[in-house]
Structure 1
Amino acid sequence: MRNNKLYLVISSLFFSFAAFANEAAAQVDPDAQQTLFMKFIRAITFTSDGNIPDFFIFLGRHHPLILHLPVGLLAVIAFLEIFSWWRKVEIYDEAMYILCWLAALTSVGATFFGILLALPGGYNPELLSRHGWLGMAVAVAAIIALYLKHHYRKDKVMAKRHRFRVAIFVACVIMGFAGHDGGSLTHGTEYLFEYAPDPLRKMTGREAKKVKKLDEDSKKPRKLPYFEAKVLPIFEAKCVSCHGDEKMKGKLKLNNILGIMRRYDKIITPGHADDSELYALLVTDDLEEIMPPEGNQALTADEIKIIENWINAGASFSDVELKPMASPSPVKEAEVKAEEKQEAEKAPIDLANMTVDQRFVHEKIIPFFEAKCTKCHGEEKDKGDVRLHTVEVIKATFEDELIVPGNPEDSWLYDSLITDDEDSLMPPPKEKNPATKEEIAMIKKWIADGAKGLD
């Protein structure tokens, strides 16, 4: 009867929390596309509006410190129970009971701090969701094991001892999967199996390691842009474990051009490495701020110099060789802009001789950009090397995943309109000029249909 009451209480709590999460999630923008886990934890912490107190973030960063306690305690309890069963000896019961209490309490604590750590996001959503649910399951299993141990101590019925053992071993198995996902969140999903032997890779559903073969085409000299040839390999080797697809510390991705462009104006001042946060964090003397953090493989002096030279030369993604940035006088720059404006005024747009797609771009797409985007991405300013004020400049930047014809989800242009990251959202919230749902739907359909009309 008591067991039935326990199961009833646990079920009631679960469904109450689920209903609470759904109700709170309904208040969130449906375009945010949060996982159920994120909706749930933001509901129970009353942060569904996206405003996360700094104190929560501070507490959450204690998760790596706390989580090792239940891991060790549950492993010790399981080992002692195996030893007791194998050698037919009775382990000191009071000590085991204390260990079970500690395991349950620290499991709940690790889950609590883990929830707070996950609130700001910045991790692979699916992986984070699985890790979170498994972590909660470990805490539940530890509590159930404590409950069963408590009842076994009263009457020493062996059946209850077996139930306790099952609960402990289930907790350890779940803990193993949760720990693997936690490691993947920190180091990347392939960290464990990257250098595994081929038989083990095949057993886990992975392909055998590919042997690099030099074909005729690869022997031909091919000039890559300076960024791809020199700078990107440094980021991939030293930075993407914390700033990549699996983990985005500071909401920064350095594994591709698109990820850098989303934070470009925040971390890079073209032509001035000393004023760029990206470079400053590589050379700072502050051990708490330096990147990569202490304990990770540091950049060499030559690698830092490559990044410095790239920024000082303009931080371009397309130049094959570094070219010193020209510093035109204000008078000369004004003259050039005046000439460009005159040229634009001399060439009136003839809509009558355009195709349907071309007219759509001039009548719908360009006016949208002028109203929402060209303040930062236009003739006067080109944040992230992106300009959207004419068809010609859009075609000139029709690369680096700005627009991926047929695939709006992979297009930076569309993603920047719907992201829930306020630092990346376009237009910026401070402008108080958001894109409407109709305008976002128009851009999505235009890209999905092939982004036609720019020819």
Structure 2
Amino acid sequence: MRNNKLFICISSLFLSFTAFASDAVAAGADPEAQQTLFMKMIRAITFTSDGNIPDFFIFLGRHHPLILHLPVGLLAVIAFLEIFSWWRKVEIYDEAMYILCWIAAVTSVGAAGLGILLALPGGYNPELLSRHGWLGLAVAVAAILALYLKHHYRKDKIMAKRHRFRGAIFIACVLMGFAGHDGGSLTHGTEYLFEYAPDPLRQMTGRSKKTVKEKETKIKKLPYFEAKVLPIFEKHCVSCHGEEKMKGKLKLNNILGIMRRYDKIIAPGHAMDSELYALLVTEDTEEIMPPEGNSILTKEEKAIIHDWIDGGASFSDIELKPMAKPAPTEVKMEKVEVNSETVKAIVDLSKLSVEQRFVHEKILPFFEAKCTKCHGEKKDKGDLRLHTIEMIKASFEEEVIIPGNPEDSWLYDSLITDDEDSLMPPPKEKNPVTKEEIAMIKEWIKNGAKGLE
């Protein structure tokens, strides 16, 4: 009787947990809430709610791919043996099965724990990470439940208890399948598995048919970057620096993603001084990109990136045009202090449109006065910088500025919010924006945030 009550309690806990996970995943109307829910939970239980992740946690988390294959294989073997036992009506190595259940339960909990540590720094698709996390925890709970049921079946050999054990094992395997698929999507991208699948299978999974690319009658010349450089990034880099995963807060899957970190990783005209290229040719095995074990670049591919950076790292030139090297001249060097006023003087406002002049005369000075202390060249809090035209344009991708829609733009919302923790500039800076400045930003965004050409 006591065992039956305990079984009911554990089953109720398992069902409640999976229902909770299901609700968290199904709340598709608010993806941010899913991320907040899962990340808030794991940071609370690891005491890292302040965002400071100890290096040791990250070190442990990277062992997640190493251990997760143990419960995957063990649960599959246990399920297979149970099917064979049911089919042949025989008892197969009961003690060995019990030991396998113990190992499967322990390694499932270990894999879930290391997965939590791996997820702490972020950099993954929030919705996919949330679903994978809940499913991984559900697998661990199902494995523990199966161990409990196996333990009690061994005592009295009641078939009803064995059927419950079998049910728990098969539920664990089903959950494991979905969790494994999401884990693969986090690592390789959501289309990795079905990219080359037959059309009927793609349609069964809710995907469209593969598009047949028709040959263009007229050959269109692409810029050198899109024709030569971007395909190299897509082949070797975007699995870690793309839409699904963004290691080091770097995205190399499109121009806007690169622009966000452009002046930190690229020195136009100087390939060897550019972190982007230097990490491709370094002899340091700890720093080299891509990391050991991944697809490495050929000499030709490295040469293409080298020549592109040496040629000015332009995104629009059709042909590679190496930057002209100035002839050496003897000049008397004088110390010149360059400040924002000096930079402004370089821009010839008379040659700009009305919208461009407005940006240079009003918007840029506003950002410089109110924002660039935390979101500028020296500091990029929240991975946001607003000190140049290019950086402001790059912010469109993250919905910091949504042209034509100030109410949904994070920039405008942060200026008028009543939440002191979200208000920008922070109250502690004692540099509040005026009503006129708020009205100016709102009107500029409402009119399309023009003038950044």
TM-score by length of 1: 0.76
Aligned residues: 413
Q: Who is 2:117 aligned against?
A: 116
- Judge conservation of contact 2:85–2:92 (CA < 8 Å) in 1: yes
What CA distance in whole angstroms lies between the structure 2 residues aligned with 1:95 and 1:153? Answer: 12
Q: Who is 2:297 aligned against?
A: 299
Over 3 Å counting, the alpha-carbon distance change for 1:301 and 1:343 in structure 2 is: closer
The CA deviation at 1:428 is 12
Over 3 Å counting, the alpha-carbon distance change for 1:304 and 1:321 in structure 2 is: same
Counterpart selection for 2:265 from 250, 260, 267:
267
Whichever residue aligns with residue 135 of structure 1, its letter is: G
The CA deviation at 1:80 is 0.7
The CA deviation at 1:387 is 8.3
Whichever residue aligns with residue 322 of structure 1, its letter is: L
The CA deviation at 1:7 is 5.2
Deviations 1:121-169 (A, max 9, x none): 1111111111110000000000000011111111111100000000000
What CA distance in whole angstroms lies between the structure 1 residues aligned with 2:408 and 2:267? Answer: 26
The CA deviation at 1:372 is 4.0
- Judge conservation of contact 1:60–1:113 (CA < 8 Å) in 2: yes
What CA distance in whole angstroms lies between the structure 1 residues aligned with 2:290 and 2:60? Answer: 23
Q: Who is 1:200 aligned against?
A: 201
The CA deviation at 1:261 is 1.7
- Judge conservation of contact 1:374–1:387 (CA < 8 Å) in 2: yes
- Judge conservation of contact 1:243–1:249 (CA < 8 Å) in 2: yes
Whichever residue aligns with residue 302 of structure 1, its letter is: E
The CA deviation at 1:62 is 0.5
Over 3 Å counting, the alpha-carbon distance change for 1:100 and 1:224 in structure 2 is: same
Alignment of 1:216-255 (within 5 A): 218-255=216-253
The CA deviation at 1:314 is 2.2
1:82 equivalent to 2:83? Answer: yes
The CA deviation at 1:361 is 6.2
The CA deviation at 1:395 is 9.8
Q: Who is 2:25 aligned against?
A: none
Over 3 Å counting, the alpha-carbon distance change for 1:310 and 1:187 in structure 2 is: same
Q: Who is 1:52 aligned against?
A: 53
Over 3 Å counting, the alpha-carbon distance change for 1:84 and 1:32 in structure 2 is: closer
What CA distance in whole angstroms lies between the structure 1 residues aligned with 2:71 and 2:349? Answer: 74
Alignment of 1:117-266 (within 5 A): 117-214=118-215, 218-266=216-264
User: Gaps (5+ residues) in structure 1?
Assistant: 20-30, 419-426
Once the two structures are overlaid, the 10-residue window that deviates more, 51-60 or 369-378, is 369-378
Whichever residue aligns with residue 283 of structure 1, its letter is: V
1:62 equivalent to 2:74? Answer: no
Once the two structures are overlaid, the 10-residue window that deviates more, 204-213 or 370-379, is 370-379
- Judge conservation of contact 1:253–1:259 (CA < 8 Å) in 2: yes
What CA distance in whole angstroms lies between the structure 1 residues aligned with 2:34 and 2:157? Answer: 51
Deviations 1:261-306 (A, max 9, x none): 2222332222221122211121122334322233332222111111
Deviations 1:247-266 (A, max 9, x none): 12222210011211222233
- Judge conservation of contact 1:414–1:440 (CA < 8 Å) in 2: no
What CA distance in whole angstroms lies between the structure 2 residues aligned with 1:189 and 1:52? Answer: 27
Q: Who is 1:102 aligned against?
A: 103
What CA distance in whole angstroms lies between the structure 1 residues aligned with 2:84 and 2:295? Answer: 42
What CA distance in whole angstroms lies between the structure 1 residues aligned with 2:345 and 2:67? Answer: 66
Over 3 Å counting, the alpha-carbon distance change for 1:269 and 1:170 in structure 2 is: same
What CA distance in whole angstroms lies between the structure 2 residues aligned with 1:195 and 1:89? Answer: 42
Over 3 Å counting, the alpha-carbon distance change for 1:65 and 1:258 in structure 2 is: same
- Judge conservation of contact 1:310–1:316 (CA < 8 Å) in 2: yes
Over 3 Å counting, the alpha-carbon distance change for 1:223 and 1:46 in structure 2 is: same
